[in-house]
Chain A
Amino acid sequence: MQKTAYSRPLPVPDSESTPFWDGMREGKLMLQRCASSGEHLFPPVTFCPGSLEIPEWTETSGKGEIFSWIVVRHPVPRDLYADEVPYVVAIVALDEGCRMTGNLVDVAPEDVRAGMKVEIVYNHVTPEITLPAFRPTGS
C-alpha cells in the first residue's frame, strides 16, 4: 500500500547545504569546520565567518545537550500540524561546540530539561530528505 505523501515543509538543499542533507540521508551528521579556528559551523556557509577561509566538511558525533526548547501546542498552519501537537523543537549545543536545531523525540514535553544529554536521530521523511531529531541518551 502506498504511503500518504509527506505534507509538511521540506528543505530545498542548495550549494552550501547539500553535503549536510546528503549526510542526513546516509545517517551521518556532517558539519563544516574551519581549519584555522577549529570551530564547527552550523548552518553551513561558503566562507567561515572571521577567517573567511573555505570550511571543510567533517563527520561529527551527533551528541550534545539541550540548550533551549519550545513545546508547540497551537498548530500553525493548523491543517499541517494539527495531528503533530504537542511537539518539541530544540536548539542543541553539540559536543563539537556549535549549536544546531532539531525536533526532540522519545521524551514527554514536560520531562525536557536544560542540559539534558541527547543524541541525533535520523527522521527519514521522504526518499530524498532526512530531518535531524534528537533523543535523550538516558545518561
Chain B
Amino acid sequence: MFKLSDKYAIAGIGNTEYSKFSGRTVRSLATEACLKAIEDAGLTVADIDGIVSFNFNDSAPAMGVATEMGIENAGYAVDYAAGGNGANLITLAATAAIEAGLAKNVLCFRAMNGRSGFRLGGGRDMSAYGVTQYTAPLGWITYPQAMAMWARRHMIDYGTTEEHWAEIATTFRDNAVINERAMQRTPMTKDDYYNSRFIVDPFRMYDICLESDGACAVVITSAEQARDLKQKPVYIMGGAYGGGPSQGDDLFDAIRWPSHSHNCFKYLADDLWGSAGIGPKDVDVAEIYDCFTYSVLMALEGLGFCEEGEGGPFVMGGRIARTGELPLNTHGGLLSEAYIHGFNHVIEAVEQLRGTAGARQIDGAEIALTTAGAMTCGSAMILRN
C-alpha cells in the first residue's frame, strides 16, 4: 500500500491546446506543457532533475523532452510502457523516486498527436502475433470493439441500459460546454445521444471518447517545498496501482479475467482508500477515466461508490452533475474535453482543489479522486488541498 500520504504534492500544472491537428511534433507539445508546469509552480528548468512519462510508442521520450528543455541533470528520466492505466502510475512513481532520493522535483507528462498522428487501435498489422492472433483475424481490432464486449456483459449480468450511458455522455458534455479547453462544446441532448450512429453495438458514437493532439504535465515535489512555492499545494493523499488476477497480455486478452462486469478498480479499492484513510463518501469531486461511457460504471462500482451492478441507477437523476452529490468529470472527460490518456483528469482535479476552475468550480472541493484505466489494470489517486 502507498505509504507516502501527504508527503508529496502537485506544485505545478501545464497543458497545451487540445485539437484534432496540432501541426507540431509531439516533443514540442510535451515541452510546452512541461515548461508551463514549471512556470506555474514558480520553479525554473534548473530545479528539475526528474522527468517521467508513459506511452505506446506514440509519444516523445522523456530524455528527448529533457534535452529540448536543457535540463542539466535529468537523473531520473523514465518512460513507462503503459496505456490508460498510466496517468496516476507515473505520478505515484514520481513520489517514490523522490522518497528514494533519486530526484527532488519531477515532471510527469503525457503528450500525443492522437488524432493527426498515431491513432490508437488503427489495426493496420496484417500479421497477428502473440495474443493478437486470436483477436485481430476475427475483425476484433479497435478499443471500442474491445470495451463493447465488456459493456454487453454488464448489460447481461445487471440489466444496465443505454439510458445510463446517455446520462453519462450528456452530463460530461454539459461540463465541457463551459470549459474553454474542451474540444466538444456543443450541447448534447439525450436525443442527440440516441440519434448518434452505432459504431460497434452496444456502443454508439457518443459512448466513445475523442481522439486528440495535445499534452499535459505536472510538477511533483515534497510537501515542504510545495508550501513555499507559488501555488496552493495539492497533496497526494493516497494512491494505488494494479489490478486483479489474469490481467493478460493486452487489453483484448481478458479472456481469463474473472468477470467482464468489473474491472481493476475492484481490486485496488482497498489499497486506495486505505492509503488515504478515507472512503468514497469523503470525495468532493471525481475525475474518472472515461474512454467509454460504460467504463465509468465499473470504476464507480469497483471503488465502492455503489454495489457492483448498481452503477447504472447510481448515475441517474443528476447525482453526477456539477450540482449533484458526486460531481464527475467536471472538465468533460475523455468523452468531451480531450483524450490526453487521462492526464487531463489530473490537471482538472488540481484546478478544482486550487479553486481556480472558474465556471466549472465545485464549491468547497477539498478532496478529489482521479482514476486511470478501464480494464484489467489501472491506477488512481486521492488528492486534497
Contacts and interface: CB of A to CB of B under 8 A. Distances in A.
Asked whether A and B interact, the reply is yes
Contact of A76 (B123, B129, B260): B123
A70 interface: yes
A122 interface: no
B227 interface: no
B255 A91 contact: yes
A67 interface: yes
Given A70-B200, A101-B135, A77 B123 contact: yes
B283 to A, nearest CB: 31
Nearest to A87: B139
B122 interface: yes
B314 interface: no
B246 interface: yes
B133 A101 contact: no
B200 A72 contact: yes
Interface in B194-224: 197-202
A11 interface: yes
A95 to B, nearest CB: 16
Interface string A99-139: 11111000001000010000000000100010100000000
A67 B137 CA distance: 20
Interface in A2-25: 8-14, 17
B138 A102 contact: yes
Contact of B156 (A68, A70, A72, A129): A68
Contacts of A67: 153
Interface residues of B, number: 39
B127 A68 contact: no
B80 interface: no
Interface in B118-138: 121-131, 133-138
A37 B158 CA distance: 31
Residue picked from A67, A76, A125, most chain B C-beta under 10 Å: A76
A69 B152 contact: yes
A59 interface: no
Given A43-B131, A109-B201, A114 B156 contact: yes
A131 B134 CA distance: 9
B149 A72 contact: no
Interface string A29-42: 00000000000001
Given A68-B149, A76-B122, A101 B255 contact: yes
Nearest to B146: A70
A100 B133 contact: no
Contacts of A102: 138
B142 interface: yes
A70 B145 CA distance: 7
A70 B152 CA distance: 7
A103 B138 CA distance: 6
A17 B123 CA distance: 21
A71 interface: yes
Contact of B197 (A14, A73, A101): A73
B139 A12 contact: no
Contacts of A109: 201
A42 B127 contact: no
A68 B152 contact: yes
13 contacts: A9-B137, A11-B128, A11-B137, A17-B133, A42-B134, A43-B134, A49-B246, A72-B139, A73-B199, A74-B199, A84-B139, A101-B135, A125-B137
Given A74-B198, A76-B141, A89-B140, 5 more contacts: A49-B256, A68-B152, A70-B145, A72-B200, A103-B139
